Every structure is written in C-alpha cells, then in structure tokens.
C-alpha cells in the first residue's frame, strides 16, 4: 500500500508511520513541524521522530502544511490510505488563539478530504477525532464522588457512547474545530462515497510522546517524575480518564482498514477497564521510578470533564477491537523509554 500520514512527526503519526513501514508498505509523512516550534524544543521533539523515521526503509519525509491543498493533491493522488493526524492539538492554545486552531483543524481536515475526493485512487481516510466532540454535555451526566475519584452514575457505567449528543453545549475552540473535521469525515462518506474512519480518541499515551502540561499530560507526568520536576494538577486530581496505549490505537485503525467496512465512527479509548484517576497515575509512576515530584494544585480548566470514560463496545462489535495493554504495562513501557532517552529531556 501507499500510506500517507499527515502530522507524521508527531506522537501518533510517528507510530502509524513506523507500523506501516515495518509491515513493508510505502509511507509518505507530511508535517510542518509546528508542534516542535510551539514547544520551543525543535531539536528535541520533531528532530527525534523525524530522524527516527528517516532511518526506516520505505519512509519518505515531506515538510509541508495541510492548510495548503496544492501540496496535498499530488501526495494523496495514488495513495491507498491517508491517516490524518496533523492538528493543533492543545485545548489551551486554542483558547489563547483560535485562528491557527481553526485553520489547521477545520480547513486542514477539509483539504485532506478534498485531496482524497479528487484523487484517482480514492484512498480511505482515517481521522483522529477526539472525545472533546461531546463537549461539556459530559459534565451534565453528573458524577459520584468516591473519595479518591469521580465516577459516572450507573446509567453511564460503561461510558459515553458514540450516539451521545454533541449539540447544545460548550466545546472550546479546539472541540469545535475537531468536531468540524469529524462531521466532514461523515459527510464525505455519505455524499461522495469516500471510505472514512472517524476515531474519537481518549487520552493516548506511549513512547516518543513529548508531553507537556497543555497536551499529553500522561507523558508529561512520567517525564516530570523521572526528572524530579514539579507537577501541577488542574483540579483536585480525582478526575478520571480512560487511557489507551498508542499501539492499541494503531491496531484499531488497522482493524478498520482490514474490515471491509465503508465507514465507521467509533470511540477508541481504554474504556471502563482502563479508567484511572490522574492522582493514581502519579502514584503508579512514583512506585515504578522510586521518585516523587513536588505536586501543586490549580483551578479546573474551562470545560474540563470530571470524568471521561469511552463506551468502547461499538469498536469491539464492528471492528473486533479492544485494548490489550493494561495501564500498568503501558506506563512501564513509557517509563522505560523515557529513562533510556533521559538525556533529550534534560537538554
């Protein structure tokens, strides 16, 4: 197959590129390397994934921007599948400046679909959507305080399903721009017969994730614990997230490609079996590393959800997919990788 990965210098994109290159496919990565500049750590972040992929057979690296349709058209024309991971990924950044968030996430996604619609081979398009599309409707479900964690009431014990309303609520600009892409993916399947897979992702974590407080919190907590840097918790630490190790995510995409389904919208997250309060993640990291960072608490973030757990039964039913890596196993793999590459985080 010819596989195009937008945002391939990023965390999720680099894992997709690695998976398909190692399986013998021809991979084209396009990235504008903006995430690295955003973090002010160009030499550490994009450089690492860029170099990692450049050493792999079958990977072609293209520095380009998804906001430019003319760049995408020739790249996508003969492709079999496009994984669209490129995005402005931080909710916090979208609140400070919603313009680049909109242009990359909404227009950039539209461009990817247009390039696919005009392509001679009509590739499948996989979209990295997010649980943020459900907005603060999630907070209206209500929560039960169990002392060390919040929980959904019994009616949502299995999590939030794909049929949950995305309407009549606040989203944040990031939630709006990602939902725009989500809806266009659905529409291009219906209106133009494009094969699209919409994956509403929870917290994804893993190796080669250069997390910061604003995005990629799990990786950031692990990096901070290992380096002994202070950790700030927005809220009280009892908020619960269903977390998913990145190789399980790539497995879900692959199952869709192999499924023969024309179109799907599914939640992909750790589900109820991998739902953890963030304070518990910190305690696990402390146990694994034998280290303890100073911890402080700040206000809740706007629209932050006290609990988010995905109902992943649809992914199991239609794709035959479920997470294989437990929270403990995933954290161990991530900690091991950070410890082996500690030097780049100290730079």
Ligand X SMILES: NC(=O)c1ccc[n+]([C@@H]2O[C@H](COP(=O)([O-])OP(=O)(O)OC[C@H]3O[C@@H](n4cnc5c(N)ncnc54)[C@H](O)[C@@H]3O)[C@@H](O)[C@H]2O)c1
Q: Residues in the site for ligand X, rule: CB under 6 A? A: 6-7, 9-13, 31-35, 65-67, 85-89, 104, 108, 128, 130, 178, 201, 203-204, 216
- Which one, 147 or 173, has the nearer CB to ligand X? 173
- Dihedral angle sign, alpha carbons of residues 245, 250, 251, 256: positive
- Please, what is the minimum distance in Å from the beta carbon of residue 85 to ligand X? 4
Residues assigned a catalytic role: 174
- Please, what is the minimum distance in Å from the beta carbon of residue 57 to ligand X? 22
- Which one, 246 or 288, has the nearer CB to ligand X? 246
How far is Cα 347 from Cα 185, in angstroms, rounded to an integer?
Answer: 40
Whether 338 and 222 have beta carbons less than 8 Å apart is answered as yes
- Which one, 7 or 272, has the nearer CB to ligand X? 7
Nearest residue to the partner ligand X, using Cβ: 10
Q: What are 296's two structure tokens?
A: 């402080």
Question: Order of strands, edge to edge, in the sheet holding 263-268?
Answer: 59-63, 26-31, 2-6, 81-84, 124-130, 196-201, 263-268
- Please, what is the minimum distance in Å from the beta carbon of residue 294 to ligand X? 25
- Which one, 85 or 207, has the nearer CB to ligand X? 85
- Please, what is the minimum distance in Å from the beta carbon of residue 90 to ligand X? 8
- Please, what is the minimum distance in Å from the beta carbon of residue 291 to ligand X? 24
- Which one, 130 or 155, has the nearer CB to ligand X? 130
Rounded to 5 degrees, what angle do the CA atoms 311, 316, 321 make? 115
CA 59 distance to own-chain centroid: 22
Name the CA dihedral angle for 69, 112, 27, 319, rounded to a multiple of 10 degrees. 180
H-helix or E-strand spanning residue 247: helix 246-259
């Amino acid at each position: 197959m010819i596989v195009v990965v937008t945002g391939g210098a990023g965390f999720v994109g680099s894992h997709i590129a690695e998976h398909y290159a190692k399986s013998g496919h021809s991979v084209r990565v396009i990235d504008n390397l903006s995430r690295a500049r955003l973090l002010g750590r160009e030499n550490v972040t994009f450089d690492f994934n860029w170099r990692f992929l450049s050493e792999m057979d079958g990977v072609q690296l293209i520095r380009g921007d998804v906001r430019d349709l003319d760049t995408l058209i020739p790249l996508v024309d003969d492709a079999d599948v496009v994984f669209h991971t490129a995005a402005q990924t931080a909710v916090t950044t979208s609140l400070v400046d919603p313009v680049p968030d909109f242009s990359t996430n909404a227009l950039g996604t539209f461009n990817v679909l247009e390039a696919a619609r005009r392509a001679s081979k009509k590739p499948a398009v996989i979209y990295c959507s997010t649980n943020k599309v459900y907005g603060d409707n999630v907070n209206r479900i209500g929560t039960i305080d169990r002392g060390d964690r919040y929980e959904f009431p019994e009616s949502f014990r299995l999590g939030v399903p794909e049929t949950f309303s995305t309407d009549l609520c606040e989203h944040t600009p990031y939630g709006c721009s990602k939902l725009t892409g989500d809806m266009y993916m659905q529409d291009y399947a219906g209106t133009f017969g494009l094969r699209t897979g919409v994956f509403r992702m929870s917290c994804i974590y893993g190796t080669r994730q250069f997390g910061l407080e604003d995005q990629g919190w799990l990786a950031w907590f692990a990096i901070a614990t290992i380096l002994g840097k202070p950790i700030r918790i927005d809220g009280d630490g009892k908020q619960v997230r269903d977390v998913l190790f990145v190789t399980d995510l790539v497995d879900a995409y692959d199952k869709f490609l192999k499924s023969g389904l024309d179109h799907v919208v599914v939640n992909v997250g750790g589900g109820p079996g991998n739902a953890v309060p963030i304070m518990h993640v910190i305690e696990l990291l402390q146990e694994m590393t034998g280290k303890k960072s100073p911890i402080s608490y700040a206000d809740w973030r706007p629209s932050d959800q006290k609990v988010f757990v995905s109902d992943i039964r649809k992914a199991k039913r239609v794709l035959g997919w479920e997470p294989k890596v437990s929270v403990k196993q995933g954290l161990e793999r991530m900690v091991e990788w950070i410890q082996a590459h500690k030097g780049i985080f100290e730079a």
